[in-house]
Amino acid sequence: MLNGDGALRNEAFDTGDEILSSPVFGAGLPAEAERHLREAALSYHLGDVAEQHLFEARRAAPTHVAVLIGLYRFYFYKNRLEETLEIAKTCLTRAAIDNSLPLDWREVRKGDADFANYEAVLPRFFMFVLKGYAYLQMRMGEHEEGREAAQKLLELDPTDKVGATLLLTVLAQREAEDVD
């Protein structure tokens, strides 16, 4: 989606609250990690304090999706894109493992998971993570990598429920502007 000033808005984790309410992702979060995530949200305006809480949450639950999404959102909204990309890569690995997919997203095939079923939480999470990864690559100037990831999304989701076409359209517009 485009935000009010015409810039592309990342929606990769906009469904995070819905995903986290799923028993699949909400289960197993240690109380300590949950407390640190809550404290990070309350202290967001104090970047160093919030980040320390996120680190503590990650120490308590290093691969839990709730913690990874918290880190992703924090870095993204603080415009720390390199750190956001690193977390996106970690999320891709986590989503691949949770879906029993190849660890390299390029090797994932349409039949590897129920990507067509938008109600299937784990495959949908993989697709949203891949969308975030594609967006970040494009935003950081790695247009070919971003394009490949967005095209992979269309291969997995030909009905484009996650919005890969929008990423490709914006990229094409930006490339056309660079030529002019």
Please tell me the distance from the alpha carbon of residue 42 to that of residue 5, in angstroms, as a whole number: 27
When pLDDT is averaged across residues 116-124 and rounded to a whole number, the result is 90
Query: What is the reported pLDDT for 145?
Result: 97
Other beta carbons less than 10 A from residue 114's beta carbon: 13
Query: What is the reported pLDDT for 51?
Result: 97
Model confidence pLDDT, tens digit, residues 3-49: 333 333 334 333 345 555 554 566 689 999 999 999 999 999 999 99
Model confidence pLDDT, tens digit, residues 55-112: 999 999 999 999 999 999 999 999 999 999 999 999 999 999 999 999 999 999 999 9
CA angle 147, 122, 99 (to 5 degrees): 80
Query: Six-digit token pair at 180?
Result: 């002019």
Q: Work out the pLDDT band at 177, boundaries 50, 70, 90.
A: confident
Please tell me the distance from the alpha carbon of residue 58 to that of residue 66, in angstroms, as a whole number: 9
- Residue 122 backbone class (left: φ over 0; alpha: ψ -120 to 50; beta: rest): alpha
Residue 60 DSSP SS3: helix
| pTM recorded for the entire structure | 0.83
CA angle 67, 141, 93 (to 5 degrees): 30
